[in-house]
Every structure is written in structure tokens, then in C-alpha cells.
Structure 1
């Protein structure tokens, strides 16, 4: 379904996301957002934003003026109970209408409020409007995932190892996850790729936890009580809201051995595996910078490995969130980067037959290096350069995949690169055949 994009009456200038409390027991958080708007059409009568699943408390304009707001989510009740049609086709049509009713690109949204009449002259004179929205999130499946997973650790005693009992340690952490625009499920913002802006992210956590966010770490403020810390991050390059990632937990921090601008995080006790997994991250960044003749857009880059991740690796602005399943120790690391290109005979172009590509290195298809390479390439195409609309997201995704594939060819060799292309083509044909058979 195609939509006609309407010109919004304002542009985003800057947004501050402030999380004041993270509750791991109730799987909830509380905070507010400050959105700075620049009016482009006068008089500015109505402002529409996107937000789902959160509980909104109040909306204030220019610091102190509290206004009433309308907050509704049509996707909560797609088909009324009294409807007579009960089939999948009707549901799909009704759901697409509900999505269209909250599409910001055509002037809609879940949250809307009217600018008071006596403030419109002031907004027209300054061309700016500051909006503060207080919110909380109590849903367990709304763009933020909480983990309280038990880990079995041998108890340290003087008895023989076989008699050591195991004790349970819970490594609690939370992280944002998404399909492309899942951030609108938990905090108010403008859900449109045409609305990038600079960001400031503040997260207050207990002093035994770390907060890792998109952007550059500016400061860590300790409260007078000494029990809380506030981590302040700043993204000085305009990015869309769906590229803001947040992770909170009791992580071990490891600066990269080759670059001071790169930092890695993992659960306690996994630092040895973390070292082996990320040892080629700097090499990948240097290759892409040379290949694109451009430096990495963001000053700092962070990799965070979490448990219960929904996908293997998620790229955000200046960071990526990966699954802990990607971590591997040095003892079992494959020697492909060192030996594959040396002992594999490349296929000559005049003998190229994609069906003859050797299957001996198929296990590399989901290697951590390949996934991290795509996450780094997404910093250029996906975070820094975004698509013009949601329907065009495949363009930046495809470009970042292609650029990451060039690094794979440099590391793994031509044969593995061709095999990867062959497997991608095979998956496309399988999906096409499945779609034709299902219809």
C-alpha cells in the first residue's frame, strides 16, 4: 500500500530522552521526553506524534503550559466485536487501515494535542515550540526487553571440584529491540525517516549498573546519596528515532585493544570470549573507511552482547546490540581469516559457475565477524544515511549488506563470497516458490 506523504507543519530540531527510573522487578521504566520543534507552517494549531503502549501523564508546552491531549491506538482493537466478517483477508485490510491512521507521513499519529490560541502568536514569532511529555512503560513486550536470567557458577570452596555446588547469579539487564520502527512502542517521538534530529539521552540507574546508549558519552553524574548514577549521551549527528538504542545492566566493560574510541560490553565472566569475538572490529572499520573514503560517522562505537536477543545483531547509531550466543573463546575460533585465502584456489572469471562453489566453508555464513561487519556498515548506510520512507528501507539495507560483503570477500576469500551470494539467491528463489505455492 502506497501513501501520499504530506508536508508536516513543523520540523524536529532536537530531542532529549530522559529515563529517571528502571525497575527490573516490575519490568517498567519512568521518564520524559523534551522535543524541540521548529514551525514551518503558521499558525501552528495541532501537533501529532507517535507513541504506543506507554502511559502518558501530562504534556507541557514551553516549560509550564499544561495542555490536554488525545491518545489512542487503533491497532489495539483492529476488528470490533460486533463485526460479522471473520476471515484473514478482512483482518489484513482492517489492520492496514489502523496502521494508516497512525502514519505520521500522512499527518496522523497516536498522540495529538492542540496548541492554545494565545500561544500561537508567540510560536509564530519565535518559530519554536518546546514540548515535554512524561511517560511510563509497564508492558513486557513493547520495544524494551528485561532479562533476569540465572547463571550457574561453581561455588568457590576448598573441596574438590567435583563436589563443588553451584550457586545462581542473576545478571539483570534490559535492552531495546526492534523491527524497523519499534521504538515508538515505548517513548513518544516522531516516527518518520524524514524527521532526523540531534539527541541527548539521560539514563539514571543504580550505581552497580551501567547504561550504554547511542552517541558519545558526555558525563556520568553521581547523586549525593551515592546510590544512583546518571549516564549522559549525546548524538550530534541527526538520526531518526528508530536508531536510538539503550542497554542497562551489570556488564563488564572492555576497551578495544586497537582503538580508544571503541568499547565492548558483555555479561560478567565472559570477557575472555568477548576478546576473541571482537578482535577484528577495528580491521573492519578501517577497511570500510578506506573503501568509502569516509570516517565512521559517529565518534564512539560500542558493541553490547545481551541474553535473550531477538536477532543476532541489531545496529543502532554508534552501537550495536548482539546476542551472547555470538561470543566464542580463542580455543574454538575458526582459523578462516588466517588460512582460507592461503589454501583456497580462487575461481577464474572464465570458469565461473556458481553451482560449482565449494561448500566447505558454509559454517561461516552466520559468523560473528560477518554480523558485526554488517552492523558497522549500517553506521554509514542506515543510521547516517537513511531512506526517504519506510517503503524504501530495503535500499539502505541492501547497500550496507553489499559493503559488508566486500569486507567478507577481503577476509574469507572469493570462494566464500561467491558461496554467500549463491545462498542468498537460493533463499530468494525458495521464498518466491513458497509464496506462489501458498497462493
Structure 2
């Protein structure tokens, strides 16, 4: 039976007569269908618990055995088979005769087969066009969901009833995996394995790689609770997802590590690491443990010393406790990504560790560690319903990471992060076409190289752009709602997931631990009472960015600024309509003006406030509320406008080409305290520069009070 991927509808609007501070979904109106019921019935079967036993670990030969028991809730009485995900390096009992294993349902041995996807070439009878090729790729991607499926035949002797639970038992042997598990093998001079050797799981694709070593239902919305038992020689140690509940030492030189993940999660959030590690329990957090290879402990202690403040910040920001009972962070060699986040467990690169005398990597290292912690809230706890929502939870994690950056490193560093992200997104769209975060039809992605709905049609670079554009959209929403209201929305998501995650026997309510674009904005409406249709249509369902060509001149007789704004429809762009903020720095201070953009060419007059300049006046009040002393010796004695900024708060996803005299750009770099305006002015210097420009840059470099990167 084909598996439906259509999500249930978003939760109904909360009854206005109910108190909102409870933070739970409101009562379902009469005649409406509970989305949690739609969630539980959207597939013919769902897992509820999974027990995993890892044994016979042979690091040198890169193999181990996995035995798993999965409790499955059957919803279709006509079922004849159950399909699981299984990687090609997981060998079944009849595929490898070197180990004893079984595949059973309720203790009855069953027939099973592996269904590999056969990929054929582009049909010769079809014209070679971009549209036909796209159809061909999408068909392959649709089939890819069934790649390396393990099909268990339900025996006729087993009577199936709706709502029945059955127990699946599968034994496999993982041999020399090429994906999903990475081995670090170091040898001594005698040819023996060095104690620094270890191996760990990682995510080799955007979706998940857990099926590469574990038979499971490897879909984002197939949640379960997990028990993990890892049997090892007593010379090795293990860390895995969940709470470390027990360590059982056997008398035969072996040890069992027991982990329990009681918060419902997807198989994508299950992983482990095995090797020899040194441990460090953070003195401020008894439930947080850090591990590293032998020899790195002093650097580890120094690198993670700040982490106590990170947890405090997020718990205060989200008005919620850390979602898992404990947290393990392990540093390993040769990690293929910046970090890998599993439920209650994160893996980072040992290259991040630094000595206390090193200062130039402090910011970059802290950003990655903070992002790994933030991903526990959004990504591992609040999870995407499908792949197409993965960018949303990743962007939420990155956004609250940037809020910590603002608290720790200052407003300029926070602004610089978004400035960099916006520049990268706009440059990418100019080269490769629009980024549509949530396409509704094929027309929405007609001009795009990527489809955010299909992992197989997305490259790592494209997915990174999805996440960065998502960060920008969340910042726009944050500024539109206000920080307090926006954080109430995030608190609501965490609170609802916390409440329903504790109801382990009411499996249909696990739906509230997942997130879609629709339910996210439904939560925005429920919490704040505000709808943001223009934001959704422009930046979520629509692709591209605004490109504004801005020119102005000062009419001294009328004491106004005549502003012209042009837009041109080109690759990767959209024609923006809506409000645009223009900030004018005058002699008497900084003033913001709103221009309404309703077409491709707009001409608007802005009234100036300054009547004339007192030549003796040296101090000017700038936009940040600070008075700065300005040298007017090189400036026009009759001028009252010092410089202009377009969309100073970055409330749009845009690129701006502002045409103004070079002296205005020079004064922007020297005296403005908005780092984005300064960087934009420096970009102008690359095209047009003078001896005065060089003097300006030298003066900026000599000023220790200015932000730098």
C-alpha cells in the first residue's frame, strides 16, 4: 500500500473564549476533524516503540550486528505486508550466513525481500527538453522513497485487526558501510589499532541516514520511543541518543551501555558513537556531559566553559526547560558536517577545540556549539513533518542562535550575520534563479534549479540557501510581530510539544511534536491574533528577492529629496510591492520615511527637516542615538543631507544599488554606526575610489571603536 505524505490540516483556531495562556491547541469545533486523528490514520501503520541492540562490534573490520524489536500499530486490516527502510550495507540473515538471525512478526518467522530501486536512463522516445528531464527526475525522486525497502510478508495465520499492535523482530549485520557511519582508524607502529580509533553515525543526506545501519521507519513523521543497548568490550565506551540509564559490567570482560529516549522522535534523530573517550561533566550542569578523544581534555574544558550560559539563555528566551533529561556532546575526528544533532546528543568536530591562548577562533567555534544546542529545541524536539519543512526547523534553530550571538557578541555581529546571509541569498538567486521555500505548484519553481520539496533535487549548497533564506524570513516576522510576541510563538511550539510528548500512550497526539509551514503560521495567528498573508505569499510561497535601483537628488529650493526607485524583472528577482523605509541622515538628526512601492517605477518626494547648516556645529545625532563629531571641511557648506540609507533594518530580502555622491558614502563609512550601511559603502569603493577614499579607509582601520570582521 502506498504511503500518504500529505500532512493533516493545521490545528483549528483556538476558541477565543478559552484562556490563551494555557498554550495548548484549542477545542475542536463541532463537525471539524482533529488533526491528530488525521496524523495517526495518514499511514497504514505506525511504530510506537523500538528496541535496538548493537553487538559484536569489530572496529578493525568495520562491522557489527544489530537486533531490533519494533512495536507497530496497524491501522489497515487488509494489510498483507509491512515496509521498512533498510540500507544496502545492512545484511539480512539469508544474505550473510556468518551470523544467526531471524526476521519475525509476533515470534513467527516470515518471508521477506529487499526491494531496490532500479534507475533507468532518460526515455529515448521523449524529446530532450528541460521540462521532460524535470519530470524524469521527479519520478525518480518519488520512487526513491521506496529505495532499499525491506518488505515483510504478513503470514496468513496472523489475523489482522484495525488498531492491533504487532512486534517485529529483525536481525541484521552491518558490514563496511559507505554511508551513515564513519570509521576513524589509527594504527600504532606495530600495526595494532590505536586507542584514538572510533566510529560514529552521521547524516549522509538531508533526510536521514539511520536506515543505513538500522531497520526502521525512516520518515520524519514516523515517531517512536527508543531503547538502545550497546554491548562492547570493557576497553570501549559508547554514547547514544537518549538518557544513559545504566552501565552493566559483565564478568567476561564486556559491558552494556543502556540508553532510553522517552521523548517521541523520528529515526533520523537516533545515533551513536563508539570508541575511547575522556569525559568532562560541566560543573554548572550535572546533566550535560562532554567527551573527546584522549589528549584533548584540557582544550575541551576551556572550549565548553561558556556552555552553562548558553543553556540559561535558551531556557530564559523560550520560557522552557531543556527538552531532554540529559545532553551529551562528543567531539570526533573527520566529521563530514559542522555538527550532527540527535535527540539529546550532538557530535562536533575535534577541530573546534582550542587552547586558552587562542582567541581568533572563539566566535566561530561558539557559534557552532550554540547552533548544536539550539538544534535540540528545533530539529530534534520540535521536528519537521516532512522533508519540505526541514528548512523551517533548521532556520528556527539558526535564528535563536543569532539571538544568542546578539547577546554575547553584540548588535553589530548579529546584524553582520544577517547582512552576510542576505548577500549570499541574493547572489545565489541572481545566478541560479529564485529560491521558493514552500512551492505549491510546479509554476512556483519554474525558474529555480532546486525543489525544496524533494531531497533528491537539492544539492548541499541549495539546502544551505533554503536555511539562510528561512533565517531572513524569520527575522522579518520577528521585526513585524515584535520580539515579545515572536518569542511567545516559539514558546507555544515548545510548550505544546512538551505536553503531548509526555503522553506516550496517546500516540495520535505525537503529531504536535511535528511542524509544518501551515501549523507554524497558524500558531502565529493563535498566539498573536495577527495574520501575515503578504509575508507568506512574498517570501514563503513566492521566490526571488527585490532589486532596488535608487537614485535621489536634493531640491534645495523646496528643501526636499526627490527619490526615484526602479525595479526590473530579471532572473532570481521579484517585483516587490509594499512599504519601504528610507532613512535620511540630516544635520539635525536621522529621520525615517515610509515610501509605498506599488509598481516597477516610483518617484517620491521626502521633506527635509534641516533648514541650513551652522558651520560651527560639529556634533550630529545619528540613527543609533549617539552624538558624533563630524568634520565638515570637505563637505558642501550648503548641504543639509549627509547620507541616505534604504531599508536600514533589513525588513526585506533585497539588494539595493544606491546612487549618491561618493562623499556621502565616505561619510557613511566614517560616521554611521550601522555596519550594513558601512559595508555597502565600502562595496561602492571597489568600483569608484579616490585618494580621499583611501584616506577614509585608513582612518577607519585606525579606529579601534568600529566593528570589524
Length-normalised TM-score, structure 2: 0.51
CA apart distance, 1:113: 1.8
CA apart distance, 1:206: 1.4
Report the secondary structure of 1:321's partner residue. strand
Any conservation in 2 of the 1:52–1:73 contact (CA below 8 Å)? no
1:114 to 141, 144, 153: 153
CA apart distance, 1:421: 0.9
Report the secondary structure of 2:47's partner residue. strand
In 1, the alpha carbon distance for the partners of 2:173 and 2:129 equals 34
Counterparts of residues 180-219 of structure 1 (less than 5 Å): 180-219=207-246
CA apart distance, 1:35: 0.6
**Residue aligning to 2:269:** 243
Counterparts of residues 3-22 of structure 1 (less than 5 Å): 4=6, 7-22=42-57
Any conservation in 2 of the 1:176–1:247 contact (CA below 8 Å)? yes
**Residue aligning to 2:103:** 59
Q: Deviations 1:244-269 (Å, cap 9, x if unpaired)?
A: 12000111111112111000000100
In 2, the alpha carbon distance for the partners of 1:70 and 1:169 equals 39
Counterparts of residues 66-215 of structure 1 (less than 5 Å): 66-74=109-117, 77-79=118-120, 96-103=138-145, 110-120=149-159, 123-124=160-161, 127-149=164-186, 169-178=194-203, 179=205, 180-215=207-242
Matched, 1:400 2:397: yes
In 2, the alpha carbon distance for the partners of 1:281 and 1:43 equals 52
Matched, 1:379 2:420: no
Q: Deviations 1:36-93 (Å, cap 9, x if unpaired)?
A: 011222244321111112112242111x21101121221xx523699899x9978876
**Residue aligning to 2:574:** none
Instruction: State the 4+ residue runs in structure 1 displaced beyond 4 angstroms.
Output: 2-6, 80-85, 87-96, 167-170, 436-439
CA apart distance, 1:169: 4.4
Any conservation in 2 of the 1:148–1:170 contact (CA below 8 Å)? no
1:325 to 329, 332, 351: 351
C-alpha spacing 1:66/1:80, structure 2 compared with 1 (3 Å): farther
CA apart distance, 1:117: 1.8
**Residue aligning to 2:73:** 38
Report the secondary structure of 1:119's partner residue. coil
Report the secondary structure of 1:12's partner residue. strand
**Residue aligning to 2:498:** none
**Residue aligning to 1:265:** 291
C-alpha spacing 1:82/1:207, structure 2 compared with 1 (3 Å): farther
Higher RCO structure, 1 or 2 (CA under 8 Å, sep 6+): 1
In 2, the alpha carbon distance for the partners of 1:29 and 1:184 equals 15
CA apart distance, 1:103: 2.4
In 1, the alpha carbon distance for the partners of 2:67 and 2:47 equals 17
Any conservation in 2 of the 1:78–1:91 contact (CA below 8 Å)? no
Q: Deviations 1:388-414 (Å, cap 9, x if unpaired)?
A: 111111111111111111111100000
Q: Deviations 1:353-383 (Å, cap 9, x if unpaired)?
A: xxxxxxxxxx666x12111111111111111
CA RMSD of aligned residues (A): 2.9
1:24 to 40, 44, 59: 59
Q: Deviations 1:294-316 (Å, cap 9, x if unpaired)?
A: 11111111110000100121111
1:412 to 409, 412, 427: 409
Which structure dedicates a bigger proportion of its chain to strand? 1
Q: Deviations 1:195-238 (Å, cap 9, x if unpaired)?
A: 11110011111111110001101111122212x11101000100
Counterparts of residues 265-304 of structure 1 (less than 5 Å): 265-304=291-330
Any conservation in 1 of the 2:269–2:343 contact (CA below 8 Å)? yes
How many residues are treated as equivalent by the alignment?
386
In 1, the alpha carbon distance for the partners of 2:124 and 2:66 equals 39
Mark the runs of 5 or more structure 2 residues left unpaired by the alignment.
8-40, 94-101, 434-447, 450-570, 572-709
Counterparts of residues 327-342 of structure 1 (less than 5 Å): 327-333=353-359
In 2, the alpha carbon distance for the partners of 1:236 and 1:25 equals 33
Any conservation in 2 of the 1:217–1:233 contact (CA below 8 Å)? yes
C-alpha spacing 1:194/1:140, structure 2 compared with 1 (3 Å): closer
